């Protein structure tokens, strides 16, 4: 396997044409005019006009096969972010964790993952993206086995932290390898569409996989399922994946790395505290500390010769708009999934496995993006195509709000497909724009910006939309007079509490809670639709849409 340096021209690619001739060099053969035309106005066979730009090499079977390895990796990470939800009751019965330990088992993965993305993206640029991905994949497999057979809650928390660390090495490496493997812009966009579909599919399929495994196996199986996938990556990766790195990289600024962690982790912690009903003073303090560290981090990046993040990129409206569009797409999609899964199970009565199946239209529609993204980009240009995707996603969310109040599943399935198509298109093109904005040698750092936006979008989507949904549920719920205090408190807390305490005995009270929950789900879907519509307007205005450069 060759070690392709980012500064080198693509293998087999022609040298740039049309550059100035050396001083004193001979005139072009044939007496061509300065414009490159022949005296007769016709070109002879086998000659290339001087103005012809070099054509990027098209990917072959090896590159597309390597893409499958990268999609496997990112899908696995997305599955691992959601698969644990259904396993909490069984692991609680087995390991007897405290309430605090249960929170850490769920949260430590995203804390470590989000906090280290920026640093690991820069490490990949320096030591090699392929090398770091394979190291991270091996660590992910080992951490999965530790988690599966953890004898105590403390050991499980440690294993989850190791999974987050390994995931932080894998995520930016996948995108930066795609950036350096697909030189043709149209082919790179299709590759990122498949990559994005893998990310969305993994998030949606996580509960489905977890439900299927827990039907037959113990809670550790949700971690052990990672091992054969990791083995496949470690077998195929060294053979298929090309190596690339920044040949002019300097040492990583350790203070900047620490500041990036100090900025992101407290913010994610604050968001999770708000969602989980934690102490608001602690959440506010964490948010202030995170914002302060972030401000110091940004000031330091402006003074460094080789910063972790090139903050000047954010002065480009197209780059900032693309990051915002990608983050908001994930915000709406993951925020919707958070409470929609509960709606399917607690209101519609679906089992966890069938609830996962019911959400599949969104995943399948995101795969269709691969077929339409090229046409959308050529016809509309990047900015307008992203705006249209966000608009389609907004329409799907609005229709979902209507369908949730109707009997049957057909309307819900159609709405999910529209949401998956729209957000998938927007996320694909915006991610492609972010990755392409940086030079290839800085692909890891640029990818980490996109991935950090993804993680923050997930956290913010669950926090904002989840909190809004809870507030609407409690405001809309009407508890009849004379209801026992413990029953009323459980109903006011959540639909899950109402379902547990009524236990099928008082269907009238349960119906009131289900009606309030459905109302909250509908209103939240409408709010998310408005947010995506506003994001579409911003994308239309900020991100350029020159179809000549994309066709």
Q: What is the mean pLDDT of the chain?
A: 77
What's the pLDDT score for residue 420? 87
Q: Distance between CA atoms of 183 and 133, rounded to whole angstroms?
A: 20
Are the beta carbons of 213 and 221 closer than 8 angstroms?
Answer: yes
- pLDDT: which is higher, 519 or 48: 519
25, pLDDT greater than 60:
no
Per-residue pLDDT, averaged over 303-327, amounts to 78
Rg, the chain, Cα only: 26
DSSP, res 246: -
285, pLDDT greater than 50:
yes
Per-residue pLDDT, averaged over 334-344, amounts to 78
Which regions of the chain carry the CATH code 1.20.1250.20? Answer: 58-249, 313-550
What's the pLDDT score for residue 489? 85
- pLDDT: which is higher, 113 or 444: 113
Which of the four pLDDT bands, split at 50, 70 and 90, describes residue 277? Answer: low
CA 538 and chain centroid, separation: 20
Which of the four pLDDT bands, split at 50, 70 and 90, describes residue 263? Answer: confident
pTM of full prediction above 0.75: no
Which of the four pLDDT bands, split at 50, 70 and 90, describes residue 135? Answer: very high
45, pLDDT greater than 50:
no
CA distances (Å), 424 to each of 235, 327, 372, 437, in order? 30, 12, 11, 20
What's the pLDDT score for residue 142? 94
Which of the four pLDDT bands, split at 50, 70 and 90, describes residue 225? Answer: confident
Which of the four pLDDT bands, split at 50, 70 and 90, describes residue 211? Answer: confident
146, pLDDT greater than 90:
yes
Per-residue pLDDT, averaged over 158-179, amounts to 85
- pLDDT: which is higher, 203 or 263: 263
- pLDDT: which is higher, 411 or 200: 411
Q: Which CATH class is domain 58-249?
A: mainly alpha
Per-residue pLDDT, averaged over 14-22, amounts to 41
Query: For 375-428, what is each residue's pLDDT tens digit?
Result: 888 888 888 899 999 999 999 999 999 999 888 899 999 999 999 899 888 888
Q: Select from 45, 3, 34, 231 the least CA-distant residue to 134.
A: 231
Q: Which of 19-28, 343-352, 458-467 has the lowest mean pLDDT?
A: 19-28
Q: Which of 111-115, 379-383, 386-390, 475-479 has the lowest mean pLDDT?
A: 111-115
> What is the DSSP annotation of 173-238?
HHHHHHHHH--SHHHHHHHHHHHHHHHHHHHHHHHHHHHHHHTTS-TTHHHHTHHHHHHHHHHHHH
| CATH of the domain spanning 313-550 | 1.20.1250.20
CA 258 and chain centroid, separation: 23
Which of the four pLDDT bands, split at 50, 70 and 90, describes residue 272? Answer: low
């Amino acid at each position: 396997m060759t070690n392709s340096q980012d500064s080198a021209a693509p293998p087999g690619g022609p040298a740039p044409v049309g550059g100035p001739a050396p001083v004193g060099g001979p005139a072009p053969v044939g007496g061509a005019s300065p414009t490159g035309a022949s005296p007769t106005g016709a070109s002879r066979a086998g000659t290339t006009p001087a103005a012809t730009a070099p054509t990027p090499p098209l990917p072959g079977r090896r590159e597309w096969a390597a893409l499958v390895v990268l999609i496997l990796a990112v899908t696995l990470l997305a599955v691992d972010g959601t698969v644990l939800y259904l396993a909490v009751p069984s692991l609680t019965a087995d390991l007897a964790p405290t309430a605090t330990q249960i929170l850490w088992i769920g949260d430590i993965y995203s804390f470590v993952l989000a906090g280290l993305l920026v640093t690991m993206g820069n490490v990949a640029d320096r030591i090699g993206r392929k090398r770091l991905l394979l190291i991270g994949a091996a660590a992910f497999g080992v951490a999965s086995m530790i988690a599966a057979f953890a004898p105590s809650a403390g050991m499980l928390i440690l294993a989850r932290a190791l999974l987050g660390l390994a995931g932080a090495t894998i995520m930016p490496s996948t995108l930066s390898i795609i950036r350096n493997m697909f030189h043709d812009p149209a082919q790179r966009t299709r590759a990122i569409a498949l990559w994005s579909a893998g990310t969305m599919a993994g998030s949606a399929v996580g509960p489905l996989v977890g439900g299927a495994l827990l039907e037959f196996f113990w809670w550790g199986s949700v971690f052990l399922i990672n091992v054969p996938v990791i083995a496949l990556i470690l077998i195929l990766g060294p053979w298929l994946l090309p190596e690339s790195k920044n040949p002019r990289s300097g040492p990583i600024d350790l203070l900047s790395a620490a500041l990036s962690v100090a900025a992101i982790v407290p913010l994610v912690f604050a968001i999770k505290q708000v969602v989980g009903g934690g102490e608001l003073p602690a959440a506010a303090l964490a948010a202030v500390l995170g914002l302060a560290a972030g401000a110091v981090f940004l000031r330091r990046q402006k003074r460094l010769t080789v910063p972790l993040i090139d903050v000047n990129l954010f002065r480009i409206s197209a780059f900032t708009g693309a990051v915002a569009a990608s983050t908001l797409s994930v915000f709406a999609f993951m925020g919707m999934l958070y409470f929609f899964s509960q709606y399917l199970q607690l209101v519609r009565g679906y089992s966890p496995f069938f609830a996962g199946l019911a959400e599949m239209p969104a995943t399948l529609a995101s795969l269709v993006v691969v077929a339409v993204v090229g046409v959308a980009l050529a016809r509309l240009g990047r900015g307008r195509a992203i705006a249209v995707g966000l608009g389609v996603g907004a329409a799907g969310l609005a229709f979902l709000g209507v369908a949730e109040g109707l009997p049957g599943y057909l309307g819900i399935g159609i709405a999910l497909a529209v949401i998956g198509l729209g957000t998938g298109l927007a996320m694909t093109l915006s991610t492609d724009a972010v990755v392409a904005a940086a030079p290839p040698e800085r692909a890891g750092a640029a990818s980490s910006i996109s991935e950090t936006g993804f993680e923050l979008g997930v956290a913010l989507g669950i926090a904002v939309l989840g909190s809004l949904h809870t507030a609407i549920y409690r405001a809309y719920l009407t508890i009849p007079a004379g209801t026992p205090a413990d029953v009323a408190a459980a109903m006011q807390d959540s639909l899950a509490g109402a379902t547990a305490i009524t236990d099928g005995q008082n269907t009238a009270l349960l119906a009131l809670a289900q009606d309030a929950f459905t109302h909250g789900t509908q209103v939240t879907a409408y709010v998310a639709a408005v947010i995506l519509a506003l994001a579409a307007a911003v994308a239309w205005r900020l991100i350029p849409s020159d179809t000549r450069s994309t066709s």
